[in-house]
Amino acid sequence: MIRFSEVTKLYPGQGEALKSLSLYIPPEQMVFVTGHSGAGKSTLLRLIALMENHTRGQILIDGINIQKVPEKHRYYLRRQIGFIFQDHRLLNDRTVFDNVALPLVIAGYDHKDIPRRVHAALDKVGLLQKEKKRPLALSSGEQQRVGIARAVVNRPPILLADEPTGNLDPKLSIEIMRLFEEFNSIGVTVVIATHEVEMAKALKHRIIALKDGRQINFGAELPNE
Amino acid sequence: MNDLKKPALSLQQKFQSWWQTHLRCLMASLGQLMQSPASTILTVAVIGIALALPAGLSLALNNLAHMTGAMDTTNTISLYLKKELTDEQVSQLQKKLETNAQIHETVFISSDQALKEYGQTSGQGDLIELLGDNPLPAVFQLTPDKDQSPEQLDLLTAQLSKLAEVDQVQFDRQWSRRLHSILQLLNKFSTVLSILLILSVLLIIGNTIRVGIQSRIQEIQISRLFGATRAFIRRPFLYSGLLYGLFGGILASLLLLISYSMLAEPFQQLISNYQLVSPSQAGSFTKYCLLTIFGGAFLGVISSWIAVSLYQKDLENSEFT
Ligand SMILES: Nc1ncnc2c1ncn2[C@@H]1O[C@H](COP(=O)(O)OP(=O)(O)O)[C@@H](O)[C@H]1O
Ligand SMILES: [Mg+2]
């Protein structure tokens, strides 16, 4: 469950990226956040992922007011979230296996359990054969899927994806969206930021449309709270 | 807060995974250092030298202090007697001295005895025999009472020199006192130098770690995003710092060992020539090496802790990029 109450994010010198935004995403929902470049989509995801602090308002994740959680304890909330970057953000000096294993190592999983879980995640994205490769030896689509495997390996209840199909051809894009739907079907909350409004519409999930840091009516019905 | 997605672990399993984590981290840090051997060796060399200097200096000063300490306990006042004294006069003087509360022990060395001893220690007995006439005066060697303050001893010396039977009073204390004050000065100098060098070790390791952090910023940020604790992010750098300090300490100990073995022989010579008390080298040398190694490791951990903490504050206050 994600709730924003009149959330404002001010970048000093850049103005407000989000302007008194209120929204509610119930558990196990799949939503698209759409809008033109600069609308505030990435900012929205980054606030949920605790990558940065909002300026005003209140953000609740699983009922927890994140502003009240000191940095020291935020790691726990961050482990509930898988994040997929448009530019992948893989560690290029490590193998695919090690990249995907990172969240498990961080969470302190027993080292005996790690290979099994990593293989399951790589299998899910169809990259089992490439586990020993380095990210730069892979295509952009493959790198994106490594990023997805890394985000889901820890089975987080919330998955955030920032332009996950931005660099990919339409066929691959649909494949990746199907993957997200699969995760969503087993109870994962999925929030996808994309400027490709048409694709979002075609997939018939809820759409949160942003413009200049505010939500605009996109005709998508609001869920019952 | 409990991690629900983690299966409950027994205490033994927990310890095992803790141990595993740290061992892996240590190995990873070691691997990282070996990835750039040249700069690692250079850094370790600088740390080693910076640690060897204060360690060597304080080892040397400690030994000197030990030696002069030993001299203090053998403090004697030598009363050189006038030549023309009769035996009667000498024994009267001896009684006087023995009843003096400030004097612990009185030993009489007649001029014949003095000559014999001189012949033995100098190996020039024959030569002296040739001289015929004994040039050495009779001596009373007095050991003052231990509790005497330097002022009291000065007073005692002054009184003794006024005695009619006495030609000259020689008090070794003055020499040792001068040595003492020189040593004190050297000690202060060494303390200041040690503090400066230890600070420089802190800075060297801290800066090396800072550079290491900068080259791994992306990894740190990704780890943090996926829920790494502060300790998790700090850990590999603490191990790097530990290793730098440890290796630096080991190198410093080697340098101490080399310089000691080079100095040992002339030092022994010095000791036997001047009849000084040999310091208890073996024990304190090992102690100093261990102290240097563990001190180095400790400094390494402290400085990397500071470097990482400063960076983490920055990281947590800045935007994710
Ligand atoms: N790190 C940042 N520092 C300063 N301004 C930023 C930063 N990130 C985003 N912004 C500004 O915030 C606004 C929203 O950006 P963003 O959330 O990235 O939009 P979108 O992802 O919808 O393209 C933009 O005007 C952008 O310039
Ligand atoms: Mg964006």
- Six-digit token string for B42: 């250079």
d(CA B283, CA B279): 10
Whole-number Å distance, alpha carbon B262 to ligand 2 midpoint, is: 68
Residue B188 phi/psi, 5° resolution? -65, -45
Residue A24 phi/psi, 5° resolution? -135, 125
d(CA A156, CA A81): 5
- pLDDT winner (highest mean) among A80-89, A159-168, B125-134, B178-187: A80-89
Q: Which residues of chain B does A79 touch, with a Cβ-Cβ cutoff of 8 Å?
A: 3, 5, 226-227
Which is more confident, A9 or B320? Answer: A9
SS3 content of chain A, % helix, strand, coil (to 5): 35, 25, 40
Are B3 and A110 inside 8 Å of each other by CB?
no
d(CA B68, CA B163): 30
Percent share of chain B, pLDDT over 90:
33
For residue B21, what is the nearest residue in chain A, using CA coordinates?
A108
Are A154 and B226 inside 8 Å of each other by CB?
yes
Span B94-102, average pLDDT = 86
What chain B holds in terms of domains, given with CATH numbers, is 22-70+179-317 (no CATH), 76-171 (3.30.70.3040)
Whole-number Å distance, alpha carbon A216 to ligand 2 midpoint, is: 17
Residue B251 above 60 pLDDT? Answer: yes
Which is more confident, B192 or B320? Answer: B192
Ligand 1 pocket test, pick from A9, A42, A55 with the greatest ligand atom count within 8 Å of Cβ, gives A42
Q: Which residues of chain A does B317 touch, with a Cβ-Cβ cutoff of 8 Å?
A: none
Span B282-301, average pLDDT = 88
Supply the DSSP symbol for A206: E
Residue with tokens 């209840």: A157
Ligand 1 pocket test, pick from A8, A11, A36, A47 with the greatest ligand atom count within 8 Å of Cβ, gives A11
Measure CB to CB from residue B226 to each of A46, A102, A108 and give the nearest one.
A102
pLDDT digit string, tens, across residues B141-168 = 888 887 777 778 788 888 888 888 888 8
pLDDT digit string, tens, across residues B203-215 = 999 999 999 999 9
Cβ–Cβ under 8 Å, residues B33 and B243 = yes
**pTM reported for the whole predicted model:** 0.76
Whole-number Å distance, alpha carbon A224 to ligand 2 midpoint, is: 28
- Six-digit token string for A33: 């956040």
pLDDT at residue B131, as a whole number: 67
Asked if A195 has any chain B CB less than 8 Å from its own CB, the reply is: no
For residue B25, what is the nearest residue in chain A, using CA coordinates?
A105
d(CA B54, CA A132): 49
Residue with tokens 């380095």: A134
For residue A91, what is the nearest residue in chain B, using CA coordinates?
B219
**Residue ranges of E strands in B110-257:** 139-144, 166-171
Q: Which of B23, B226, B229 to mutate to test the interface with A (most CBs of A within 10 A)?
A: B226
d(CA B304, CA B311): 10
Ligand 1 pocket test, pick from B319, B320, B321 with the greatest ligand atom count within 8 Å of Cβ, gives B319
Are A110 and B223 inside 8 Å of each other by CB?
no
Q: Which residues of chain A does B231 touch, with a Cβ-Cβ cutoff of 8 Å?
A: none
Which is more confident, B237 or B164? Answer: B237
Span A142-157, average pLDDT = 95
Q: Which atom of ligand 1 is nearest to the CA of A9?
A: 12
List of residues 6+ apart from A82 with CB closer than 8 A: A103, A150, A151, A152, A154, A156, A158, A159, A160
Span A198-202, average pLDDT = 88
Please tell me whether residue B222 adopts helix, strand or coil conformation: helix
d(CA A8, CA A11): 10
Please tell me whether residue A216 adopts helix, strand or coil conformation: strand
pLDDT at residue B279, as a whole number: 56
Tell me the residues of chain A between 12 and 71 that have a Cβ less than 8 Å away from chain B: 46, 49, 51-52, 71
- Six-digit token string for B57: 């200096």
Residue B11 above 70 pLDDT? Answer: yes
Q: Which residues line ligand 1 (CB under 6 A)?
A: A 11, 14, 17, 35, 37-43; B 319
β-bridge pairing A81-84 and A56-61? unpaired
